[in-house]
Amino acid sequence: LKELRQITVIGLGLLGGSISLAAMRSLPQVKVAGYSHRPSTRRKAKKLAPGLKIFNDLKASVVSADLVILATPICTFEAMFKEIADVLPHSCIVTDVGSTKVLPHKWAEKTLPETIFYVGSHPISGSEQRGVEFARDDLFVQSLCIVTKTNKTDKESLQTVATFWSTLGCDVKFMSPKQHDKILASVSHLPHIAAAAMINTENINDLKFAGKGFMDTSRIASGPANIWADIFFTNTANCVACIDKLITELNKFKKAIKSKDKKQIEKLLQQARNKRGAFIEYKLKRKELIT
């Protein structure tokens, strides 16, 4: 494993702030630095995490880093990689927490020199909240982190990044970026699109009569629009395939309801109920339902 003396977190939102806090708690011997281009975010971060070394200059924040973690919207990564490529120290490890992984791998390969080792990360934590003020040092405890690699990924760097997330409390799984983007389109991006599309059908006056079911079903659609736009924008083919699948399933309900086929309606509902039951049971067993 590579020894980490300094970690630099780029972007101090909910995720970047939580990574900073969690690293300072779990790795007290490591210097943790953070960069944000927003003065108000830097002020808030300083208050929240007095031990964090905060930079207003991107290049300056990474010159002594052993591990750099990008926690900004995905579509900023390519420009960030380009900007820091020349100043990163030799054999520095770079990772990111973007919710898609194919393009970040491609951008890293294209823009970072061969002396820099890129590994992809996706900690599956967070919420519909945004901003450093919601950061928590236990955000990653008992949560899942997918670490992505290709056949070009440096093995020591891969293990260093995986160990970093384990230290923060994550259960780490390895995948190829391609597999990651396909699975996440299905279990994360589609639910988000479905929730947003569902709300977009609603008349605002009717929502006065909506109950807790609507509230829960629609919760994720309160997430930041720019972050999610970047996610869908960088996973277009998989998202489109998932939307098509959802439309197919909706048409099964439509057909059953239109033809008043109660047996078939109940069968479709029972299928969903059983699958969700299996999901809940799996997560409960692994105690993964906390964040």
Which positions from 119 through 148 interact with its own copies, judged by CB under 8 A?
124-125, 127, 143-144, 146
Alpha helices in 63-126 (DSSP H): 77-84, 102-111
Query: In one letter, which amino acid is 99?
Result: S
For its own copies, which residue of 39, 155, 248, 287 counts as binding (CB under 8 A)?
Answer: 248
CB 163 within 8 A of CB 156: no
Classify 265 as helix, strand or coil.
helix
Q: Report the b/e string of 169-205 with b at 16+ CB within 10 A.
A: bbbbeebbbeebbbebbeebbbebbbbbeebeeeeee
Binding letters toward its own copies, positions 189-228, x by CB under 8 A: -xxxxxxxxxxxxxxx-xxxxxxxxxxxxxxxxxx-xx-x
Query: Is position 284 an interface residue for its own copies (rule: CB under 8 A)?
Result: no
In angstroms, what is the minimal distance from the CB of 142 to its own copies?
12
Query: Is position 250 an interface residue for its own copies (rule: CB under 8 A)?
Result: yes
| Positions in 13-72 near its own copies (CB under 8 A) | none
Query: Is position 266 an interface residue for its own copies (rule: CB under 8 A)?
Result: yes
Closer CB to its own copies, 163 or 222, in the complex: 222
The number of residues that bind its own copies (CB under 8 A) is 91
Query: Is position 174 an interface residue for its own copies (rule: CB under 8 A)?
Result: no
Cα-flanking dihedrals φ and ψ of residue 35, to 5°?
A: -125, 135
In angstroms, what is the minimal distance from the CB of 195 to its own copies?
6
Closer CB to its own copies, 46 or 136, in the complex: 136
